[in-house]
Amino acid sequence: MSSIPNPVKLGILAVGLALARVGLVDRERAVRTAELAWPRVVTGIARMSKNAVDVAMVGVASGTAAITGVGFASPFWGLAFSIGGGVAGGTIALVSQRFGAGADEELGLAVRSSAFLAVVASLPVAVAFWLFSTELIGLLSDNAEAVALGAAYLEIVALGVPFSALNLVGSRVLVGADDSYTAMLLRATGAVANVAVNAVLIFGLDMGVVGAAVGTVVSSALVTAAFAIGLAAGRLPGIGAFPVRIDPVGPFVDGETIRDLVRIGLPVMGRNLVWTVAEFPMLAILDIFGEDVVAAFVISRRIWGVMNTPGWGFGLASSSLVGQALGVGDEGTAEAYGREIVRYAVATYVVSAGLVAMFAEPIVLGFVDDPSEPAVPIAVSLVHVACVAVILQGVSGGAAGPLDASGDTRWPFYSQLLGTFGGSIPLAYLGATTSLGIVGLYLAFLAETAVPAAINYYRFATGKWKAISRAYRPSATPGD
């Protein structure tokens, strides 16, 4: 099914073939990378577009206060993805190496342990969001209307936190087993269903931000059920065969596997948390600028999310392909994939960012019902800066892929921590409190990606991640 032509696949493949013609990547590796990356890019576009449509819908239905409220709730919901993403980071490292080595029993144990860990880690967060939604949103602003709307949204989406964590684990299992297409079908279909449910609830039933939250929970639960059924049965009606079948009655808690998942996943979770936690002080700083700047920032970040989707595909393709090569002891091929995917990702980002820059204003206008809103020109300028910053994300994410696959996940965490809290947040604060003004936000966007790009690529270039990977390879690795 992955041979079905579509614009995203053809566009990504065209970039890879162009790079191959000038000798920057190997043609065969470019084709394999494109096959694995494009479904994940489509998934990212669907999910990030869903997030953007959420904001656009509540903005059109309820105004900029609703956009601000959902923006205040977003970092809390992002905690769910940080937790799930951390567990999933360990999952793809273990699954890809075991799949490459044909170690089926160890693969199943890794998946079951990942699911157990995702639920245990996410449930306390869900309970906290449900019980203390108003208090949590109130930490970010004293805008009563925005706080009330944000709390209403957060209380409902709390129910979807465990589902979102399990969805990430299920997706990484399939990607690690060389099947990003099926993961795309399930998660992208869930995103489309989310938009449809939201439209009915927000506009048809006039439920506003609550409708957006209910749509998120319902779609997340349906996708979780699809992953669980498909992995347990080895296939899913209407979708077809899965690359692996996981026995659902096997052991879920294995001490060594849990330790490996935590050891690999904690830095990944930390890296994801950096993005999420940074939103809290950032939104508080933006509140100093005023509601219009907050709304403009939320809009630009939703557009940034869509622009950043090539990184979803190339980062996971790199983790999977590098991990599979490491699983059979082929470190030379692993390094070649890592280096070439960085080039591939950067070239793709240049193309996509250029297109967004050309149409920045009409894209921003899709989020508001009044083109004269003061937030519009601010958002347009932020989008233009984001188009430059996102190209550096190609280096950062592409170089992090091999590090994740090998288990060397601490460096990407440190790089993101430094870029965000050592660069982005201080620059934004200077903008809010000095004559630097809005320029501080422009510099914050750039620092957020420039620092991790430099550090991650440096670590990849040292080659030390190859030695680290040997500790996580399955016991029957050929060539060792």
Count Cβ atoms below 10 Å from residue 147 Cβ, excluding itself. 24
The predicted pLDDT at position 480 comes to 45
Convert the pLDDT of each residue in 411-454 to its tens digit: 888 898 899 889 899 999 998 888 888 898 899 989 988 999 99
Q: Check whether 50 has a pLDDT greater than 70.
A: no
Digit-coded pLDDT (tens) for 6-24: 777 788 888 889 998 988 9
Distance CA 216, CA 214 (A): 5
- Give the residue with greater pLDDT, 169 vs 96: 169
Tokens at 222, concatenated: 């349906």
pTM across the whole model: 0.65
Q: Mean pLDDT across the stretch 217-237?
A: 85
Q: What is the percentage of the chain residues whose pLDDT exceeds 90?
A: 6
Burial class (CB within 10 angstroms; exposed 0-12, middle 13-18, buried 19+) of 464: middle
Average pLDDT rounded to a whole number, residues 98-107: 70
Lowest mean pLDDT of 59-73, 242-256, 274-288, 348-362, name the range: 59-73
Nearest to 138, CA basis, from 130, 124, 148: 148
pLDDT at 471 > cutoff 80: no
Burial 339-374 (b: 16+ CB within 10 A, else e): bbbbbbbbbbbeebbeebeeebeebbeebbeeeebe
Label residue 456 by pLDDT band (50, 70, 90): very high
What's the mean pLDDT in 315-329? Answer: 78
Q: How many whole angstroms separate alpha carbon 45 and alpha carbon 57?
A: 17
